[in-house]
Amino acid sequence: MTEKLQWAGEKFMREVEARSGARVSSCLQCHKCSSGCPIGPETDLLSSQAMRMIHLGMEEELLGSRGIWLCASCQTCSARCPMGIDVAGVMDVLRMMAVERKAALPDKARGRHFHRSFLGSVRRHGRVFELEMMAIYKLRSMDLFRDMDKAPKLMKKSKLPLLPNRSRSAGEVRKVFRNARKEEER
Amino acid sequence: MRYAFFPGCSMEATAWDFGKSARALFKALDIRLEEIPGWVCCGSTPAHSSSEGLALALPALNLQKAGAMGAPVMTACAACYSRLRAANHRIQNDPESRKRAEQLTEKPYDGGVAVHHILDVLVNHVGRDVISSRIKRPLRGLRIACYYGCLLSRPPGIVAYDDPEHPSCMDGLLELAGAETVQWPFKTECCGASLAITNNDVVNRLVHRILSMAALAGANCVAVACPLCQMNLDLRQDDARKAHGDFPTLPVLYVTQLLGIALGLSEKDVGLEALTVGADKLLAGAAR
């Protein structure tokens, strides 16, 4: 009897490739991305490991990792990849998938609260209103006391205005958010 | 020369000194900056990390407005620059992305509006001759570590107008202004950017690494061209020291502040009072 070989990871990998436009399958595991990664000491997921885990279809491990939220989007990996893979673009897609699939988000995934708080502020005012964004982020993440000494320092330098700097095109921005939501629901 | 100026959210808040010094510098160079009326946030990292649509459409909204002004866009913020360029690149090269941007904004846009960073404009449009002819107060005694960070340099092909691993355009400008610049290996290392909000421990480590290296290379100050780089390197020196050990205190100035001073603008014109680590002593040696 002949056994049929199956590549369990292919579906997930093709999905990541289609969405990011990056040819993850061409990764040759040279580790150039990982050696230049600034969050190497803190992360649980080096970029070259992430590429291999995509090959192997390890969706749950990837989407539940701290590393995708610790990625600073510095683009070093994308710039240095000898195969031209946009590794940072792949990280974007993994973050989106983690939120969409409500993957077991680790406690270091505070990034998702930051992104939501930031974009909410942009939707309301057309521009980010930092004081409001930070207050909402703190409440969402319950990460209340981190860096509390920074706000008064910034205020003293007039760097944290008390009122939003609203764009007169805020209505157009709301329309873009509405259209983007409709698009995602389709 | 005339540019459609895209300030970006930071320039009116956490980096108001960058905005003020950029405007003052261009006024001193007799170059017109016209703010894009009704500009909106570029979406920054939160958009490209959570929605492909917003990452295309928010930049496109701004570029459509700039297109109506008939002038190339100039922005000083490295993150805004990166997002505007990335969206343009996708809209130009991928018909699907163009269709998507047009559907989301409900307006046509072909990706044709040119976007420049202020360093690119200073080096390649204004030029060395014009700048060196206007220097009134050479930055004597300054040994500057030019720090370019991530988004001015990467990814090459989308943003870079300089060598992505070893850029030198900021060094060249500040040398024209009479300063010395130091050769050092962390010009394009990441400062941790917005991880400052969610994981400041990471940023403290990176700030410590970058500033220690700048000091080891012999610098007495750092020049930057990105609001987040400036805030992380300037505001977090005490925290970095507490967490990772001592290093010399280094003022971190925007390149526009340094050039402005060299062109004869006052400390107030370029917003030097906004720095956490003051630069008074540093600039005391520069000839009046």
B275-287 residue pLDDT tens: 999 999 999 877 5
Output the tens digit of pLDDT for each of chain A's 186 residues: 678 888 888 999 999 999 999 999 999 999 999 999 999 999 999 999 999 999 999 999 999 999 999 999 999 999 999 999 999 999 999 999 999 998 878 777 899 999 999 999 999 999 999 999 999 999 999 999 899 999 999 999 999 999 999 999 999 999 999 999 999 888
Residue of A70, A161, A176 lying closest to B57 (CB–CB)? A176
Which of A72, A108, A156, A22 is CA-nearest to residue B90? A22
Q: In CATH, which superfamily holds the domain spanning A10-100?
A: Alpha-helical ferredoxin (1.10.1060.10)
The string of DSSP codes covering B242-285 is HHH-------EEEHHHHHHHHTT--TTTTTGGG-SS--HHHHHT
Candidates A95, A100, A112, A157: best to mutate against B (most CBs of B within 10 A) is A157
> Please, where in chain B does CATH 3.40.50.11810 lie?
138-284
pLDDT of B33 higher than 80: yes
Residue of A42, A79, A180 lying closest to B154 (CB–CB)? A79
Query: Domain residues of chain A, as ranges?
Result: 10-100, 110-185
Candidates A125, A169, A178, A185: best to mutate against B (most CBs of B within 10 A) is A169
Round to whole Å and give the CA distance between B76 and B191. 18
Reported ipTM: 0.96
> Please, where in chain B does CATH 1.20.1050.140 lie?
2-118
By CB atoms closer than 10 A (0-12, 13-18, 19+), residue A52 is middle
Round to whole Å and give the CA distance between A98 and A100. 6
B191-243 residue pLDDT tens: 999 999 999 999 999 999 999 999 999 999 999 999 999 999 999 999 999 99
3-state helix vs strand vs coil in chain B, percent to 5: 50, 10, 40
Round to whole Å and give the CA distance between B250 and B235. 11
| List of residues 6+ apart from A7 with CB closer than 8 A | A57
Give the β-pairing of B221-224 and B32-35: unpaired
Yes or no: is domain B2-118 CATH 1.20.1050.140?
yes
Residue of A111, A176, A183 lying closest to B61 (CB–CB)? A176
Q: Do A79 and B156 touch (CB under 8 A)?
A: yes
Round to whole Å and give the CA distance between A56 and A29. 13
Cβ count within 10 A of residue A139:
12
DSSP A3: P
The CATH number for B138-284, chosen from 1.10.10.10, 3.10.300.10, 3.40.50.11810, 3.40.50.620, is: 3.40.50.11810
> What's the token pair of residue A58?
């390890």
Q: Do A134 and B151 touch (CB under 8 A)?
A: no
> What's the token pair of residue B20?
């003020």
Round to whole Å and give the CA distance between B145 and B201. 24
Residue type, B73: V
Phi, psi of A45 (to 5 degrees): -150, 100
Round to whole Å and give the CA distance between A141 and A112. 9
The string of DSSP codes covering B145-194 is EE--TTTTT-STTTT-SS-SSS--HHHHHHHHTT-EE---TTTT----TT
Cβ count within 10 A of residue B288:
6
Q: Is A100 on the interface with B (CB under 8 A)?
A: no
Which of B43, B45, B238 is CA-nearest to residue A70? B45
Structure confidence at residue A109 (pLDDT): 84
In DSSP terms, B32 is beta-bridged to B2
Cβ count within 10 A of residue B77:
28
